[in-house]
Structure 1
C-alpha cells in the first residue's frame, strides 16, 4: 500500500473518511498558505487564512468540480474532522470565509511515535537535513490564481504560520518595512540561541526567515531565548533532531504549546504573588513582605487594634 497521498498519511485520511480529492484540496490549502501570498488575519493568537473556493476550481480543474459550493462542502468536511477551524467574516452584504489549521493537520504528515530517542551529543552531530524526507516536492503546471509561487518542501511545515503578507480586506496590521527589519533582528537572536544546542549552518535561510516571521506574528519576538529552550528541552523521542526542528519549530501546535506553557507559568506566578500579597490595614496599599513600603507599618501588628489606630492617625494627619 502507498503510505502517503499528497504527502499525507493514507491511513489517517481513511480514518477521517477523506478521499484523494480531499487530500489534493488540503494540499492546495497548505501550499498556498506557505507561499506568503494568502491573505490572513490573527484571531486569538491563531492565524486564519482567507479561502476563495473559485480559486481552487481554477487551479485544480483535474477535480472536475465546477460549483464553489461543492468545494465549500469539502472544507466543511475538514472542519467536522477537526482538521480546520472555520470563521465567517461579514462585511456589508457580503461574507468572507477564513480557516485555521489545527494540530491534527500536522499529525497527517508525520508521526512522532515512530522515531528513536537521541542523546544531547547526537543533536550537535546532525549536520545534514534530507529535504525530500519531509514532504513530497511535486511541481504544479499552474501556479495559484494570484501568481503565488511554490516554496520548497521544508517550508511547508510553516503552513499554519506563513511569512509576511498583505491583508487588504482582513484586519491584520503589519508594516512590511518594519517587519522586514524586525525579522533580521529576530533571525540573529534565533541563531545565537540555537547555537547553544545545534549547528545552525544546517538550516537554510528560508527556515530562519519563516520562523522569525511566525514568532513576530505571534508576538513572541521578545521570547526567543525561552522558546529556543522550550524547543530543545521538549524534543522527546526523535531520530533526527535537525529534521524534527525543521518540521515543528514554526508549526501552530508547537507555538501554541509554548504559549500555553507561558500562560500556566504566569498563572502560577500570579497565584504565588497573591498568596504573599498583603493589603496594608493602615494605608490600604498592596505590598509583599513584612513591612508596608508606603507607610512603614509592620504586617505582624495588623491584629493589634491600638497600634493600627495609632498608625492610621499618624498616616492621615502626619
Structure 2
C-alpha cells in the first residue's frame, strides 16, 4: 500500500494520513471508522490517528491496522475519496525524530566527486526544517550559488531499532520513498563538516508516498533517475549501493537508536551537477524530477528566495 500525508487544496485544516486507491486518496481514519461500522471485530478495533506524526509514533501497531483498512477498501467502496488533483501531498513523515543521510555510497559518485571509497558509511544528518513535500518548491537562498540535486532512495523505520542484526533489518522497516538531498555545494565544501550545505530550510523534498515493504520487496534492485528541465542527469540502480540497506541499518543502530518514522537517505548515484563539465547548478525556475522504480516520481521547482 501507499501511505500519504495529505490535505485538501484551499482547506486550512491540518494534514491527515491517507492511502492511495488507484489514483485517488482515501482518508485513513475515515476509512478505518467505516470498516469498524461494517466489520466490527476485536482485532480491527485499534483506533487510527488522523495526524501523520501520531500515526508513525505508534509504529508497527498503526501499520498493522492500516493493512487491514487497505484490505477493506480494496473490497469495499470507501465513502470519501479525493482525486489526486484535489489534494496537496506533504512529506510522508513530516516530523521524523531523525533524518540520517549516507554520503558517497555509489562507487561512480565517489569517483566523480574525487573521493575515495570509505571503509565505513559516511553519515551526516538533516533537520526537519529542510523537509518539504513532493510538490513543494525548493528554496534557493542568496547564501548559495551552487545548489545541486541528489536523487536518493529513502528508507522509513517502522519500529524502534537498536543493535539490529543484518538478517533482521527488514522487520524494522515501514517502507520506502523518494528523496532529493538538494545540496548547497559551496556551503557544504567550505568546511570539513557538510551540515551547513545539507540542511537549508525548505530544500529536501520527500515523497510522493511511502510504499510499504510488503509491496516493494526488493529495494536492492531499483532503477533510480533524475532529470533537470527534462534532461536526464542521473541513471543508476540501487544494486550499486556500496553499503546496502541491511548493512546500513545494522551499522547505524549499533550507534544510534532509530524510532518509528525516522528516515535514512541512502546516498546518490553519479551524475550530479557539480561533476559536470562545466558544472551545472540549479537556477530559479528549474525543475528537478526524481524517479525510482516501484515507488513513482516527484517533481519540484527551484525558486529564488
TM-score (norm 1): 0.23
Kindly indicate whether structure 1 or structure 2 has the higher relative contact order, using CA contacts under 8 Å at least 6 residues apart. 2
Write 1 or 2 for the structure with the bigger share of strand: 2
Higher Cα Rg, which structure: 1
Write 1 or 2 for the structure with the bigger share of helix: 1
